[in-house]
Structure 1
Amino acid sequence: MSKHVQCWGVVPAAGVGVRMLATRPKQYLEVAGASLLRHSLRALLACDDIRGIMVAVSPDDPRAAELAGLARVQTTPGGAQRADSVLAALHALQPLAADDDWVLVHDAARPCIDPADIRRLMVQVESSGSGALLAEPVVDTIKQVDSAGRVEKTLDRRHLWRAQTPQMFRLGELAGALAGARQAGVEVTDEASAMEWAGYPVMVVPGSSRNLKVTTPGDLEVAAFYLGGDAAIVAPEA
C-alpha cells in the first residue's frame, strides 16, 4: 500500500452463533489447535501492510482477554448486530487512522482464508481505487421461490456471486455508509451492501471456496480439513 495511506483490519466478533447449537460463541470454538477467531486473526496478521486490527467483542465477553497478548490487535465493545459491531470498531479506529485509510473487514468465523487472497484483494483495491470484496461465482442452479415454496423462476447465475470477506473500503466512507443505513432503518448484511446503498462503486475480486464461513456444526469438519487438524466437538445447549 502507499506509504501515505494505511490499512487496518476490523473483525466483528460480538455474536453468539446460535445456529452452531454450542455452549460458547462460535468464534471461540476450536479447530486445528486454535479458535476460529485466532485463525482469522493470524491470516490478517500475516499481511505486513495491515498496521493493526480492531476486534469488536461482546461487552461481557469473558474470553476477550485471550486476545490481549496478540501484537497489533485491540478490542472494543461491539453491538447487537454485525453492522453495529463494525461501526463501533471503525469509531474505535478513528483516533489512530485517517478517513481515507483502508479497512479490511473480515468475519471471525472464516478461519481458512489464505493470506495470499487477502494480499491480492489489497493490490487490486489499491490499483483501482475502488472498494471491493472477495467473492465466489455461483456454480449451482439458483431458484427463486414464493412464500409457499413454489418456484417462480430460475435466476441467471452468470451474474451471481457469493460474498465473502475480507471486504475492503475507505474508513470514513464505510463509517458514513453504515451510520446512514442505520439512521434510515435499512438493514445491511455486509459492508458491501451498505456501500451499495450509499451509492459507492463496489468491485468483486475472485476468492476461493476454502474461504468458507463456519455457520453449522458440519462446517467445523470442513474447516478442520483445510487447516489440517481436528475439529472441536460442538456440545449442544441444554
Structure 2
Amino acid sequence: MIDTISPQGRVIAAALHLAAERPWGDVALLDIAQSAGISLAEMRTHFASKGEIVAAFARAIDDAVLAKASTRPVGQSARDTLFEVIMNRFDALTPHRKAMKSIYHSRSADPAFIRSFLSSQSWMLNAAGVSTDGIEGGLKVAGVASVYLSVFTTWLDDDDPGLARTMAALDRRLRRGERTMASIEEITSAMKRMASIFSTSPRTSDNGPSASAPGTVNEAERTAT
C-alpha cells in the first residue's frame, strides 16, 4: 500500500514507524527525514509539515479502500454499503494502529490533515454510492465524519481480531445517523420547494403593479392622451 521505494513513501513509512514508538508530538521533521534516509531539504520538496505526511498516508488508505469498492448490490441500502466501506478502511489501518493512536492523541489541527480527513469522508460516501454534491452533500460529509471519529476511538482500543466492538459501534452510529439525515433531507427538500415557488412567482415593483399588468396605463399612453 505504501511505496517504500519512492522518497515520499519512505517518509510516510518512517513517520508511521516513529509515531508507533513515541508520542507524535515528540517526533520532529528532522527525525522523520533521518529515519527515511533523506535530507531535510529533500523531504521539504515533498512535504511541508507532519500534517501533510499524515494526509498523504490517508490518501494511500483512500486508494486501498476505493480499490475494494464495487457496485452496490441490488437491494442493498446505502447504509449497509457504507458500513462495508468504513470497515474496509479500519482493516487497512489495522497494521498501523499504534501509530494512529499516537497521532490521534496528539490532537493535531494541521489544516492539510483536516482537509484530507474531510476528503476521505467524501470519498467513502461516494464509494457507497452516496452523492456529496451541494449543501445536502456537505451535510452528509459532516455527518459521516462525526460517525467515523466516534467509531475510530472505539477501533483504537478494539483488540478483537474480528473487530466486534467496532462493528457494533459503527452499526449503531450509522443507524442513528441515517435517521438524522432523513430529517435533514426532508428539511432541505422543503426549503428547495419554497425557493422554487418564490423564484417562479410574479414580481412587482416597490411602487405597485408593473406597467404591463392588466388595468394599468403606462407613462407613454398617458403622455399621448
Report which structure shows greater RCO (CA 8 Å, sep ≥6).
1
Q: TM-score range by the shorter chain?
A: under 0.3
Considering fraction of residues, name the structure with more helix. 2
Quick check: which has more Rg, 1 or 2?
Answer: 2
Normalised TM-score (structure 2)? 0.25
Considering fraction of residues, name the structure with more strand. 1
